Chains A and B, each alone.
Chain A
Amino acid sequence: IIKLNSKQCRIYRVRINDLEAAFIYNDPTLEVCHNESKQRNLNYFSNAYAAAVSAVDPDAGNGELCIKVPSELWKHVDELKVLKIHINFSLDQPKGGLHFVVPSVEGSMAERGAHVFSCGYQNSTRFWFPCVDSYSELCTWKLEFTVDAAMVAVSNGDLVETVYTHDMRKKTFHYMLTIPTAASNISLAIGPFEILVDPYMHEVTHFCLPQLLPLLKHTTSYLHEVFEFYEEILTCRYPYSCFKTVFIDEAYVEVAAYASMSIFSTNLLHSAMIIDETPLTRRCLAQSLAQQFFGCFISRMSWSDEWVLKGISGYIYGLWMKKTFGVNEYRHWIKEELDKIVAYELKTGGVLLHPMFGGGKEKDNPASHLHFSIKHPHTLSWEYYTMFQCKAHLVMRLIENRISMEFMLQVFNKLLSLASTASSQKFQSHMWSQMLVSTSGFLKSISNVSGKDIQPLIKQWVDQSGVVKFYGSFAFNRKRNVLELEIKQDYTSPGTQKYVGPLKVTVQELDGSFNHTLQIEENSLKHDIPCHSKSRRNKKKKIPLMNGEEVDMDLSAMDADSPLLWIRIDPDMSVLRKVEFEQADFMWQYQLRYERDVVAQQESILALEKFPTPASRLALTDILEQEQCFYRVRMSACFCLAKIANSMVSTWTGPPAMKSLFTRMFCCKTCPNIVKTNNFMSFQSYFLQKTMPVAMALLRDVHNLCPKEVLTFILDLIKYNDNRKNKFSDNYYRAEMIDALANSVTPAVSVNNEVRTLDNLNPDVRLILEEITRFLNMEKLLPSYRHTITVSCLRAIRVLQKNGHVPSDPALFKSYAEYGHFVDIRIAALEAVVDYTKVDRSYEELQWLLNMIQNDPVPYVRHKILNMLTKNPPFTKNMESPLCNEALVDQLWKLMNSGTSHDWRLRCGAVDLYFTLFGLSRPSCLPLPELGLVLNLKEKKAVLNPTIIPEAIAGNQEAAINPSSHAQLVGFQNPEASCNMSAHQQGVKRKADTPLGSPLEPGQILEKNEDSSKVKLKIREEIDMDTVHDSQAFISHHLNMLERPSTPGKEQSPLEMSMHPVATAPLSVFTKESASSKHSDHHHHHHHEHKKKKKKHKHKHKHKHKHDSKEKDKEPFTFSSPASGRSIRSPSLSD
């Protein structure tokens, strides 16, 4: 038996070495829990889902498609000869994996800018062609795509040639990828692309949609520098012979890296006038390029090694950031990432980088605190995965701290050079395992290269989840001239762990800055640190700082008895930690003013929020004015200053905070109320200029209203804004001005709940509303880049609604959320609707959102809605809410159970939402759970059922080949005889069991068949892969299946079929299509093309599998015993 991954594809026939082979198609992830009616327990679902995913996990040797090797070929298998598998299949209206963008305008597909691209979360290649969808199964590829002559197909590897078909209407693109690559790293994009050969590097080609070429030119003009940087630090050439970037619309993720090609969102493109997007886009480019080395070229051995790849690519990307944007930006980024991961782990309880599943029982499941399984990438919450990547690169940085960057780069170089040697070894696939990285292999090369033992570090951060939480405080002992530092840890709350080991503390004294390394041990809380300086206030001596600089300080604020200026714990962020440190306000102020590290400045700004004093105010203002200070620090100082001003409101003197500062910096000398005409040449001041008004708008007077003066000020800024002499666009600036207006809004004083009308509108609000109206309307006439202004206006309107100035009404947002608006606008509008749903508890809107989750054409938007609902849920599990009812539970359950089987990310998003709304156990709004128990029992029984009774009803059709072949629900089918039946994956199981034989809908037979036959592209595979799959895994999988409560199967009644409109839908669509419009024709073309390609791919895969199959086949008997008559095995038994 050979197992392949395949989803959505309709498979017509499988041939192995030209012999027809029987196959079964069973995808347990289509519907995770079968008719367990009222259970609705998330715990149960997650287990079932994890089981379903492992049942098809290619790393464990499983797959949705089981092909039986004909007995004639067993000899081949025994002789370890190559088997060639040939699969005819088609893919019709795929719901995931491939995304079609077809604008509904006049014109041919090419004129309309229609395009298609592959997408997905982790290994999702199985959605568009049958393959071993694993990162660890490498082979070389030959890809052929036949597309409309106006289209360009972009795929992995080198474009060998482009051939017109006989009628000259189509072109076939031949791609050849000689570097062994996993199927999961194969991608495709087809569209009427404009093509740009990189002027600096001719092996790099960029593709974008029509009309965007100028933007593409500008956007990619920087890429070669990234290339140079990586090649230099890795001392290794870019491994592939070419690189392609494709910018497409409706992207699944902003950046997706595949072998020798990256797919980006078209929204990353920008012109030279745009400031804000430029660094973001460059970061995306650099990120994708880092993943080309680690992720695409070097692939992972198994899921638990993912962290190494994410870590290395994230780490070298960080190095690039440091070089490009400077150390400040880099440290700031590290701090940001650290804060993020710390916050996430403390909230949800731990991110585990290297999950080990050593046959453990449920109870020592490392992720028991989570509502999903971390055994598989496909069961992972998207947010968790994001955090996982973030932690991975931080840990990589910790390793660097330990072994030095030089060694680190040597290790990377070693990995790369081994891999590239291996990749050039044609026909020696056993060598190719060098191209896979595993945790142990990585650690081994670290110890080889550096000779250092980093095991403790790995154990702490990689094998264990959680972060460290320190609480620090100190006292100065004057007699002994000693600093008594007390450091406590919290390692009991979720998401924390205990830290034992060295910890660096930096003490800034009068005589200089001193580093101390403390040893954190089990029970020692107190640490004595001798001070170097006397507390005497020396006669005006300069004070040396950490970086060697000597500065004059006004020391009057400090404690006369102590020489301590400030203390920092773990200044280098060499522990994944959160530090809460107590020191006096003046110490924070000194730290802010004189410590040169941006992280320290940031920390002190945060701390100063708690000390609303004139001294803090002064320190912050000084920082704001200081040109040399890092702009992000100055930006956060703005917000801190606003908070402090609000706390000091009763004693505040002078004009509102920052006003005079802003006037001085950005307004005309002669008329201080008028802002200078824009000139954004200095980016630092641009960012500051953008931010200050936003922060100022947060000021409140004694009545908790935004001071009139501030509002007028902002309105004037808007009024006098003049961008004519500026070479940059001011769209982000104007958008922030609207944000500022929104920030100034305070809750309306409502007199006995009157209805909001125009007449009782607050005059200030009227002014604000006028601006918003004008901006929003102007956007229609002169749209801004990425519609930033519309986005801000929508947010501002929601703020006005929420504060009761304007009647709360989602209609406006709903119209902006429709498909056809720019995605940023849609997201902003949806966010408002989500918020409305929560505040007004509107069932109708919730339904509207859910409907959109199911039907929106853009996967990203669907994902995002779920995400926003999870972040801002209409209710949570402990809350009474009229929205929480049985129908909703059912609806969501259905969504995650079967409605989202075409998109892993979406399904996990639905699980997250379900968790947020109802928690892990049975939703409280359901009738009490006695019933559930009963069901449980039933379920157990049910589980047994299928095993015992292997569907007696087997398909009559199949009888021809293999009478006994019916596994649970699945029928082996003779492809020729009954190819209709096998066609639809979704339908398959059911069909087999159902009264059968009844071919599916009539429309089904389709052109595709012909197509496929035409398409016979011979792929020769140059590889024979050794199977990585071991039989053990195979067995255990079967065992798993036994345990799995939800084995698909049981009683498939005809009813079920009708219950799954999803499954059948594509078919009907198809029928319609052929009948109808031209549009559909185009679709067909695409489809066809794809199909063809796929076929080719398949062939290749097949080769690999042959080997696998051999091994497996030998085992049949072994299996059968443990599996005790498991249906799947039955074919082999019979044989």
Chain B
Amino acid sequence: MADTAATAGAGGSGTRSGSKQSTNPADNYHLARRRTLQVVVSSLLTEAGFESAEKASVETLTEMLQSYISEIGRSAKSYCEHTARTQPTLSDIVVTLVEMGFNVDTLPAYAKRSQRMVITAPPVTNQPVTPKALTAGQNRPHPPHIPSHFPEFPDPHTYIKTPTYREPVSDYQVLREKAASQRRDVERALTRFMAKTGETQSLFKDDVSTFPLIAARPFTIPYLTALLPSELEMQQMEETDSSEQDEQTDTENLPLHISTPVVMSGGEMDVSWSRRSCRAEMRI
């Protein structure tokens, strides 16, 4: 009877997983684990004398079991970390169980009870693959003064300083060129996208795609959009305000203070540009 429930549960989850064929290995792993738990619950129920159980109650019990086990694991991990270890030991588990109000002494007896059912170990399904972090280069081994249970060094590229011998691209012309075409590309892509997804107008009757114009939409309060500076402008203004503190109404020529150092402005450019384009995208 327990079997029926169990198989029913298994069947259920089977179809479920079937329907979610596309799910990733991690999901599969969870499903498998859950299935095992269900089997356990079902056998415990059988052991307790139930002949059948509703699916809902089996699910509930499974859920409870799962939380209980998870909690044991979580606290055990805390205890072991508390003592500066990475692997929990038996005593960690015991302390945990005690802490959770479980009488540990009864455990051996229970484990040896006669009518217990033995459940075969679940088939080892595909382990969840933790996507491998991008590794570059060899991780350095621990130097002798660091105990081996300490975590490994991260990838060298995250902390190693590599002196480069090639000049960064600081040619003003190239940078300007790059910035300009970058912006242009973003703008074009963006507007094309908007045009494709929305209503358009066209200058040519026979061709609507080459020069798509986003259709004109009346505003309910047209003056607001027309007069208020956009967020982007506001932000820019703050930036420039903090960098220059000239008087705004100054009509006098400030003699060519325009020609800011070429290289420097080039350097900043990329950074702030990408911020700007992000913003532009976010606005949509």
* Chain A interface residues toward B at CB < 8 A: 103-105, 112-113, 209, 211-212, 215, 249, 266-267, 269-273, 627, 668-671, 674, 676-677, 679, 681-685, 719-720, 722-727, 729, 756-758, 769-770, 773-774, 776-778, 780-783, 785-787, 797, 800, 806-807, 809, 811-812, 815-816, 818-824
B125 within 8 A of A: no
Q: For the complex formed, measure the closest distance between the CB of B278 and the CB atoms of chain A, giving whole angstroms.
A: 14
Residues of B contacting A729 with CB < 8 Å? 229, 233
Q: List 15 A-B contacts (CB under 8 A).
A: A671-B172, A674-B172, A685-B253, A722-B176, A758-B204, A776-B213, A777-B212, A780-B214, A781-B194, A781-B284, A786-B226, A787-B226, A806-B204, A807-B205, A815-B216
Q: For the complex formed, measure the closest distance between the CB of A785 and the CB atoms of chain B, giving whole angstroms.
A: 7
Residues of B contacting A211 with CB < 8 Å? 224, 228
- What is the bound-complex CA distance between A113 and B220, given in angstroms? 10
Q: Are B227 and A669 in contact (CB under 8 A)?
A: no
- What is the bound-complex CA distance between A807 and B206, given in angstroms? 10
B33 within 8 A of A: no
B184 within 8 A of A: yes
With beta carbons under 8 angstroms apart, the residue of B187, B218, B221, B260 that contacts A818 is B218
B262 within 8 A of A: yes
B150 within 8 A of A: no
With beta carbons under 8 angstroms apart, the residue of A722, A758, A785, A811 that contacts B229 is A785
Q: Are B226 and A785 in contact (CB under 8 A)?
A: yes
Q: Are B207 and A722 in contact (CB under 8 A)?
A: no
- What is the bound-complex CA distance between A627 and B255, given in angstroms? 11
Q: Are A212 and B227 in contact (CB under 8 A)?
A: yes
With beta carbons under 8 angstroms apart, the residue of A269, A271, A778, A819 that contacts B191 is A778
Q: For the complex formed, measure the closest distance between the CB of A412 and the CB atoms of chain B, giving whole angstroms.
A: 29
Q: For the complex formed, measure the closest distance between the CB of A899 and the CB atoms of chain B, giving whole angstroms.
A: 25
- What is the bound-complex CA distance between A670 and B260, given in angstroms? 12
* Chain B interface residues toward A at CB < 8 A: 172-173, 176-177, 179-181, 184, 187-188, 190-191, 194-195, 201, 203-207, 210-230, 232-233, 236-237, 240-241, 243-244, 246, 248, 250-254, 257-260, 262, 265, 269, 272-273, 276, 280, 283-284
Q: Are B212 and A782 in contact (CB under 8 A)?
A: no
Residues of A contacting B236 with CB < 8 Å? 723-724, 726
Q: Are B205 and A809 in contact (CB under 8 A)?
A: yes
Q: Are B225 and A676 in contact (CB under 8 A)?
A: no
Q: Are A781 and B203 in contact (CB under 8 A)?
A: no
A724 in contact with B272 given A685-B253, A774-B188, A776-B213 (CB within 8 Å): yes
Residues of A contacting B283 with CB < 8 Å? 781-782
Q: Are A727 and B226 in contact (CB under 8 A)?
A: no
Residues of B contacting A778 with CB < 8 Å? 187, 190-191
Q: Are A681 and B257 in contact (CB under 8 A)?
A: yes
Residues of A contacting B215 with CB < 8 Å? 815
Residues of B contacting A685 with CB < 8 Å? 253
- What is the bound-complex CA distance between A812 and B201, given in angstroms? 7
Q: Are A822 and B222 in contact (CB under 8 A)?
A: yes
**Extra A-B contacts (7), CB below 8 Å, given A271-B228, A670-B173:** A266-B223, A267-B227, A670-B262, A685-B253, A782-B232, A812-B213, A822-B222
Q: For the complex formed, measure the closest distance between the CB of A811 and the CB atoms of chain B, giving whole angstroms.
A: 7
Q: For the complex formed, measure the closest distance between the CB of B87 and the CB atoms of chain A, giving whole angstroms.
A: 54
Q: Are B262 and A668 in contact (CB under 8 A)?
A: yes
Q: Are A725 and B210 in contact (CB under 8 A)?
A: no
Residues of A contacting B212 with CB < 8 Å? 773, 777
Q: Are B276 and A777 in contact (CB under 8 A)?
A: no
Q: For the complex formed, measure the closest distance between the CB of B265 and the CB atoms of chain A, giving whole angstroms.
A: 7
Q: Are A821 and B248 in contact (CB under 8 A)?
A: no
Specify the chain A residue showing the minimal Cβ separation from B195: A777
Specify the chain B residue showing the minimal Cβ separation from A105: B220
With beta carbons under 8 angstroms apart, the residue of B173, B217, B246 that contacts A681 is B246
Q: Are B191 and A821 in contact (CB under 8 A)?
A: no
Q: Are B205 and A670 in contact (CB under 8 A)?
A: no
A676 in contact with B207 given A820-B222, A822-B223 (CB within 8 Å): no
Q: Are A823 and B222 in contact (CB under 8 A)?
A: yes
Q: Are B203 and A821 in contact (CB under 8 A)?
A: no
Residues of B contacting A683 with CB < 8 Å? 251
- What is the bound-complex CA distance between A1082 and B122, given in angstroms? 73
Q: Are B190 and A781 in contact (CB under 8 A)?
A: yes
Residues of B contacting A816 with CB < 8 Å? 216
Residues of A contacting B191 with CB < 8 Å? 773-774, 777-778, 780-781
A669 in contact with B259 given A757-B207, A758-B207, A785-B229 (CB within 8 Å): yes
Residues of A contacting B284 with CB < 8 Å? 781
- What is the bound-complex CA distance between A722 and B233, given in angstroms? 13
- What is the bound-complex CA distance between A1019 and B1, given in angstroms? 97
- What is the bound-complex CA distance between A466 and B221, given in angstroms? 45
Q: For the complex formed, measure the closest distance between the CB of B203 and the CB atoms of chain A, giving whole angstroms.
A: 5
Q: Are B206 and A758 in contact (CB under 8 A)?
A: yes
- What is the bound-complex CA distance between A3 and B181, given in angstroms? 72
A674 in contact with B173 given A725-B265, A781-B194, A807-B204 (CB within 8 Å): yes
Closest 4 CB pairs of A and B: A820-B218, A777-B191, A671-B173, A727-B240
- What is the bound-complex CA distance between A683 and B254, given in angstroms? 10
Residues of A contacting B190 with CB < 8 Å? 778, 781
Residues of B contacting A679 with CB < 8 Å? 257-258
Specify the chain A residue showing the minimal Cβ separation from B244: A727
With beta carbons under 8 angstroms apart, the residue of B184, B203, B210 that contacts A797 is B203
Q: Are B230 and A783 in contact (CB under 8 A)?
A: yes
Specify the chain B residue showing the minimal Cβ separation from A627: B253
Q: For the complex formed, measure the closest distance between the CB of B238 and the CB atoms of chain A, giving whole angstroms.
A: 10
A773 in contact with B253 given A103-B221, A722-B176 (CB within 8 Å): no
Specify the chain A residue showing the minimal Cβ separation from B276: A724
Q: For the complex formed, measure the closest distance between the CB of B259 and the CB atoms of chain A, giving whole angstroms.
A: 7
With beta carbons under 8 angstroms apart, the residue of B206, B224, B260 that contacts A677 is B260
Q: Are A783 and B225 in contact (CB under 8 A)?
A: yes
Residues of A contacting B243 with CB < 8 Å? 725
Residues of A contacting B187 with CB < 8 Å? 774, 778
Residues of A contacting B244 with CB < 8 Å? 727
Q: Are A781 and B280 in contact (CB under 8 A)?
A: yes
Q: For the complex formed, measure the closest distance between the CB of A557 and the CB atoms of chain B, giving whole angstroms.
A: 30
